[in-house]
Amino acid sequence: MSGKDEPRWLDEAEMTAWLRLIAVAERLPGVLDSQLRRDSGMTHFEYQVLAMLSDAPERTLRMTLLGLQTNATLPRLSHVVRRLEAQGYVERSVAPEDKRAINARLTDAGFEAIVEASPGHLATVRENVLDPLSPKQVAALSDALAAILSRVDPTGAAPQDRRDSGG
């Protein structure tokens, strides 16, 4: 291999950061999922679907947009929405502006479920992600993740806090 073809190997600091990122990415979903299953009987993905709908105008999103926001394939999303529909948390209907599209709408029961699940979920997020960090570290983490998201989510489909002014 010539120098030009040589991989850009990670130095010690980069390797440490990478391994820590992977460890968090692999372990945090299980922590969040366990708490939600135990306390609310829903998975973290189900919570995310309900949360995206609760934040949408009229608590309604097209299934394709909901799939982008939750980073889910349409088959996976359809399966989960079908389950949430059976629980009375979501209703699906043909989009009035495009008869080929399907909308998902959060019902009052679904809104109540997300409101009831939120305090425990928030406590788990705080305990495992935010409380170990100083305010300066939270800001640095947010900046670092924004830089990474600009590469892995160039379309900006990942959920955003509407209160975020970008700074």
Answer whether residue 165 shows pLDDT above 60: no
| Cβ–Cβ under 8 Å, residues 104 and 81 | yes
Answer whether residue 167 shows pLDDT above 50: no
pLDDT digits (tens, 9 = 90+) for 74-113: 999 999 999 999 999 999 999 988 889 999 999 999 999 9
DSSP H stretches of helix in 126-165? 135-152
| Chain position carrying tokens 């160039």 | 154
What backbone torsions phi and psi does residue 84 show, to the nearest 5 degrees? -65, -30
Answer whether residue 14 shows pLDDT above 60: yes
Domain definitions of the chain by residue range? 13-152
Distance between CA atoms of residues 69 and 75, nearest Å: 15
| Whether the predicted model's global pTM rises above the 0.85 cut | yes
Distance between CA atoms of residues 91 and 82, nearest Å: 9
Closest CA to 88 of 105, 103, 72, 76: 105
Please check whether the domain covering 13-152 is classified as CATH 3.40.50.2300. Answer: no
Answer whether residue 1 shows pLDDT above 90: no
DSSP H stretches of helix in the chain? 12-40, 44-55, 63-70, 74-86, 108-125, 135-152
Distance between CA atoms of residues 115 and 72, nearest Å: 23
Distance between CA atoms of residues 104 and 52, nearest Å: 11
Answer whether residue 164 shows pLDDT above 80: no
Average pLDDT over residues 135-139: 97
